[in-house]
């Protein structure tokens, strides 16, 4: 009985759909006729308008309203502050009362795995590990050891390692990664046999390989610690703190990963490390194929500020860098098509091809990195800020892209403001070639102003996205977080100081290409230990892509 009823319902539904289809065909034919008549009218009107001199204004009006044809709209969700462990919150440590539950830090790194799980690390505030530090006299303060999660010590640290936050629900909320619990007490009692949060660190970087293994490198300035996690960071895979045993006096580390445990580490020593005395350079490349248990040593990549990226499944690795530590020059890219293999000290470049110039640098932006990123389809892009008018004169921004793993390139100017600063631009690329650009921006023309870098002007987070950008395409940048990240102070105006938001931030696009995430910094309130500095907090914002 039920089967007969279902059959009858199906016949009725088919009849309705057939009738609807017939009605739809008739309506479509009528619309086509109407459209044809309208098109004929528009063509006639445009011909007459050209004679009357109004066609150009009409066309311009349509162009201004619709924007670029390949523009991808972004709908921004509510920003989220990174949390502190509840037991480490201290209302008497100098934090702004409205933000005592949030982590103090700067220069965040952001990574994502194939499931959309994300990880953030950020530079700890070394001056906020208690009222004194082991470097007290050098920093102009009292001599003392550092403290973490300790009542009465005015510390903003929850643990000895640098911050490690994770999200396993596409950025809806964030928590600390597995193995990164509070480590209360004096740094002299850190338990290095326990690993995780017990490994005293300063700042780090994160990468994820093709198997979704997370590699987190945390520098101690003197060397580095390695951490490995799975399940988006919810499963810590190591025991005792694992020392890298390379790279003396490392500053900012960069990490990329691919395949099954292939890791690329680009270290910024600023000088030749003692173990690499047969070569010279600022940046040094180290290669591992066993998940970071051991590394090749001492391959120099001469040049200025640099970053690295790699395919997850394919063999390509890319390093973008200034061609030299100089006030002007070019941005170049180094490419390996064989996982960066065969590199070491001496004359051999292994699988790294000769550097390729991508575009000019007409100035020397304060600690501005050319940033490289790529996808699995052969798209690789580089973006960099340029400062042809000095630190506080109007900045420029340039972009280069290749759709064939770096064989052919297009490069052009993508400056967002007629007058303003576009600091630390970052690029992300989806697998279907949606290319997002984001930056810390200060528009000199805000509020109809006609002056330049002056007190009271506001920095914001900007972002925009295009599908398959071609040469001379323009991004329609929008503010991603309506709250100002920083307001220029009189001290900064007087001293030409544009470094309040520090050295970088990072973005990702989800594996399915439907949303993007940004980890970034916001300054709030006066710093308790540093004059002319503010408290710095790490935030995350997600934007849904109209794809």
Find tokens 């004096």 and name the residue. Answer: 186
Decide if 127 contacts 530 (C-beta within 8 A): yes
What is the side-by-side order of every strand in the sheet holding 396-402?
371-374, 380-386, 396-402, 410-413
The b-or-e profile of 403-421 (16+ CB within 10 A means b, else e) is bebbeebbbeebbbbebbb
- Give the helix, strand, coil percentages of the chain, each rounded to 5: 20, 35, 45
Which long-range contacts link 332-338 to residues 24+ away (Cβ below 8 Å)? 332/303, 332/356, 332/357, 332/358, 333/358, 333/372, 333/380, 333/382, 333/400, 333/406, 334/301, 335/405, 335/406, 337/405
pLDDT reported for residue 44: 39
Indicate if 28 and 150 belong to the same structural domain. no
Structure tokens at 487: 């307001």
Domain that holds residue 194: 74-545
Q: Are residues 24 and 90 in the same domain?
A: no
> Looking at the whole model, is its pTM more than 0.85?
yes
Gyration radius from the chain CA atoms: 27
CATH number at residue 311: 2.120.10.10
The mean pLDDT value for 521-536 works out to 95
- How far, in Å, CA of 14 to CA of 9, rounded? 9
In this predicted structure, what is the pLDDT of residue 7? Answer: 41
How far is residue 39's CA from residue 517's CA, in Å, rounded to a whole number?
A: 42
For residue 138, the SS3 value is helix
As a residue count, the chain comes to 547
Look at strands 434-443 and 458-467 and give their pairing.
Answer: antiparallel
Q: Which pLDDT score, from 0 to 100, does residue 342 have?
A: 83
Among residues 20, 40, 66, which one ends one of the domains? 66
More confident residue, 220 or 538: 538
Same domain, 506 and 398: yes
Last residue of some domain: 66, 82, 109? 66
**294/376 same-domain check:** yes
**pLDDT per residue as tens digits for the range 7-22:** 444 443 344 334 344 4
Least confident of 224-238, 258-272, 362-376, 505-519: 258-272
Euclidean distance between CA atoms 477 and 439, whole angstroms: 9
Tokens of 227: 């951490």
Q: Is residue 208 located within the same domain as residue 355? A: yes
Residue 436 — very low, low, confident or very high, per pLDDT cuts 50/70/90? Answer: very high
Torsion of CA 260, 515, 104, 163, to 10 degrees: -10
Residues 57 and 179 in one domain: no
pLDDT at 499 over 50: yes
Nearest to 336 by CA among 261, 258, 414: 258
Please answer whether residues 309 and 321 qualify as being in contact, where contact means their C-beta atoms are separated by less than 8 angstroms. Answer: no
CA distances for 373 relative to 166, 337, 433, 523, 543, angstroms: 22, 15, 12, 27, 19
pLDDT at 277: 62
Q: What percent of the chain stands above pLDDT 90?
A: 74
The pLDDT assigned to 417 comes to 96
CB-facing half-sphere around the CA of 102: CA atoms within 13 A: 22
Mean pLDDT of 42-55: 36
Give the per-residue pLDDT at 28: 39
* Distance (Å, whole) CA 332 – CA 279: 20
* Whether residue 59 is found in the same domain as residue 85: no
Confidence of residue 247 (pLDDT cuts 50, 70, 90): low
- Mean pLDDT for 417-446 is 98
Write out pLDDT tens, residues 63-106. Answer: 344 568 999 999 999 999 999 999 999 999 999 999 999 999 99
Q: Which residue has the higher pLDDT, 401 or 48?
A: 401
**Rounded to an integer, what distance in angstroms lies between the CA atom of residue 91 and that of residue 100?**
6
pLDDT of 40 strictly over 70 = no
User: What is the rounded CA–CA span in Å between residue 353 and residue 482?
Assistant: 44
Regarding whether 387 and 535 lie in a shared domain, the answer is yes
Per-residue confidence (pLDDT) for residue 274, from 0 to 100: 66
* Number of neighbours of residue 102 by Cβ within 10 angstroms: 22
pLDDT of residue 363: 93
Residues 88 and 6 in one domain: no
* Residue 500, Ramachandran bin (φ over 0: left; ψ between -120 and 50: alpha; else beta): alpha
Tell me what pLDDT residue 31 has.
38
Last residue of a domain, one of 46, 66, 86: 66
| Position 343 confidence tier, pLDDT thresholds 50, 70, 90 | confident
Specify the number of domains making up the chain.
2
pLDDT given for residue 345 in this prediction: 62
Mean confidence (pLDDT) of the chain: 87
Q: What pLDDT is attached to residue 4?
A: 41
Please, are residues 425 and 371 in contact by the beta-carbon 8 Å criterion? yes
Percent of the chain exceeding pLDDT 70 equals 85
Concatenating the DSSP letter of every residue in 64-125 gives HHH--TTB--EEE---EEPBPPGGG--TTSS--GGGTTB-BEEEEEEEE-TTS-EEEEEEE-
pLDDT band at 275 (very low <50, low <70, confident <90, very high): low
Residue 61 confidence (pLDDT) above 80: no
**pLDDT above 90: residue 432:** yes
Could you tell me if 53 and 144 lie in one domain? Answer: no
- What is the pLDDT confidence band of residue 322, given thresholds at 50, 70 and 90? very high
Please check the confidence at residue 27 and state whether its pLDDT lies above 70. Answer: no
Q: Of residues 24 and 304, which shows the higher confidence score?
A: 304
Q: Which of these, 183, 164, 186, lies nearest to 175 by C-alpha position?
A: 164
Are 102 and 83 within one domain? yes
pLDDT in tens, 464-477: 999 999 999 999 99
Do 36 and 178 share a domain, yes or no? Answer: no
Work out the pLDDT band at 426, boundaries 50, 70, 90.
Answer: very high
Mean pLDDT confidence for 238-242: 94
Is 163 a residue whose pLDDT tops 80?
Answer: yes
What whole-number distance in Å separates Cα of residue 304 and Cα of residue 397? 18
């Amino acid at each position: 009985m039920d089967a007969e009823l279902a059959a009858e319902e199906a016949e009725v539904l088919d009849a309705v759909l057939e009738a609807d289809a017939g009605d739809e065909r008739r309506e479509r034919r009528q619309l086509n006729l109407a459209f044809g008549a309208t098109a004929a009218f528009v063509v006639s009107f445009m011909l007459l308008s050209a004679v009357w001199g109004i066609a150009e204004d009409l066309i311009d009006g349509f162009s201004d309203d619709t924007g670029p044809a390949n523009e991808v709209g972004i709908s921004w969700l509510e920003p989220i502050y990174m949390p502190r462990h509840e037991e480490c919150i201290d209302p008497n440590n100098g934090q702004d009362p409205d933000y005592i539950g949030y982590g103090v830090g700067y220069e965040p790194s952001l990574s994502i795995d194939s499931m959309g799980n994300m990880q953030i690390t950020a530079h700890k505030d070394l001056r906020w590990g208690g009222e004194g530090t082991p470097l007290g006299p050098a920093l102009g303060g009292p001599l003392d050891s550092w403290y973490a999660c300790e009542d009465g010590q005015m510390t903003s640290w929850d643990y000895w390692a640098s911050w490690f936050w994770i999200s396993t629900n596409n950025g809806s909320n964030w928590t600390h990664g597995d193995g990164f619990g509070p480590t209360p007490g004096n740094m002299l009692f850190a338990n290095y046999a326990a690993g995780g949060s017990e490994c005293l660190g300063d700042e780090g970087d994160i990468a994820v390989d093709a198997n979704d293994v997370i590699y987190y490198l945390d520098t101690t300035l003197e060397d580095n610690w390695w951490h490995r996690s799975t399940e988006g960071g919810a499963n810590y895979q190591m025991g005792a703190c694992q020392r890298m045993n390379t790279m003396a006096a490392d500053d900012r580390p960069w990490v990329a990963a691919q395949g099954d445990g292939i890791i690329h580490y680009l270290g910024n020593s600023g000088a030749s490390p003692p173990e690499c005395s047969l070569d010279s350079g600022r940046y040094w490349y180290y290669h591992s194929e066993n998940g970071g248990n051991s590394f090749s040593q001492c391959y120099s990549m001469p040049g200025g500020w640099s970053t690295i990226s790699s395919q997850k499944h394919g063999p390509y690795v890319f390093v973008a860098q200034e061609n030299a530590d100089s006030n002007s020059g070019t941005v170049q890219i180094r490419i390996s098509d064989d996982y960066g293999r065969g590199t070491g000290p001496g004359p051999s470049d292994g699988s790294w091809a000769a550097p390729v110039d991508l575009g000019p640098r007409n100035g020397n932006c304060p600690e501005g990195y050319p940033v490289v990123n790529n996808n699995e389809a052969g798209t690789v892009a580089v973006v960099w800020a340029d400062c042809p008018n000095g630190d506080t004169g109007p900045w420029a921004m340039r972009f280069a892209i290749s759709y064939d793993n770096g064989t052919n390139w297009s490069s052009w100017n993508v400056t967002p403001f007629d007058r303003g600063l576009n600091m630390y631009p970052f690029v992300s690329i989806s697998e279907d070639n949606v290319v997002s650009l984001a930056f810390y921006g200060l528009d000199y023309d805000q509020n109809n102003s006609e002056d330049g870098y002056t007190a009271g002007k506001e920095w914001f987070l900007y972002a925009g996205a295009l599908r398959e950008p071609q040469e001379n395409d323009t991004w329609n940048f929008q503010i991603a977080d309506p709250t100002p990240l920083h307001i220029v102070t009189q001290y900064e105006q007087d001293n030409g100081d544009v470094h309040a938001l520090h050295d970088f931030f990072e973005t990702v696009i989800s594996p399915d290409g439907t949303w993007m995430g940004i980890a970034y910094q916001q300054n709030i309130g006066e710093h308790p230990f540093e004059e002319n500095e503010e408290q710095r907090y790490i935030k995350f914002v997600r934007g849904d892509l109209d794809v």
